[in-house]
Amino acid sequence: MTRIELPFPVPLHACFTNVPGRGRVPTGRYKAWQNEALWMIKAQRVQPIKGEVSISVGLVAPDKRARDAGNCDKAVCDVLVKAGIIEDDSNKYVRRLSYEWRADGPPCVVLIQEVSNDWR
């Protein structure tokens, strides 16, 4: 199993904006989060995982506002692909994806496992 700590993810609505003549482009906030997350992954010396994976994400909210864990999916999965940790975030490779709210700890912990034939 691979364990990765990340900063608290940017919600989906803050990842992209529409720019006339260019379409949807990443926001500055999303690019800054990705950059920080990529450096954190590099510092943790995470090895790539080939093939099908199961991903579990533990989140610690930075404040008491109500949040939707599913809105963090885009940022987390995209950075795992961009860092080369997983091959792709499509259903061809990510066979299970779960989120859990935790009371304390790092803002975002990602656990990745190879999917074995026993799972099917």
What is the 3-class SS of 52-120, one letter each residue?
Answer: CEEEEEEECCCCCCCCCHHHHHHHHHHHHHHCCCCCCCCCCCEEEEEEEECCCCCCEEEEEEECCHHHC
Q: In whole angstroms, give the CA distance from residue 54 to residue 112.
A: 6
- Whether the CB-CB separation of 81 and 89 falls below 8 Å is answered with yes
Span 96-109, pLDDT tens digits? 999 999 999 999 99
Q: Which domain covers residue 19, as residue numbers?
A: 2-119
Tally of domains within the chain: 1
Span 13-43, pLDDT tens digits? 888 999 999 989 999 999 999 999 999 999 9
Residue 68 has pLDDT above 60, yes or no: yes
Return the CATH number at 41.
3.30.1330.70
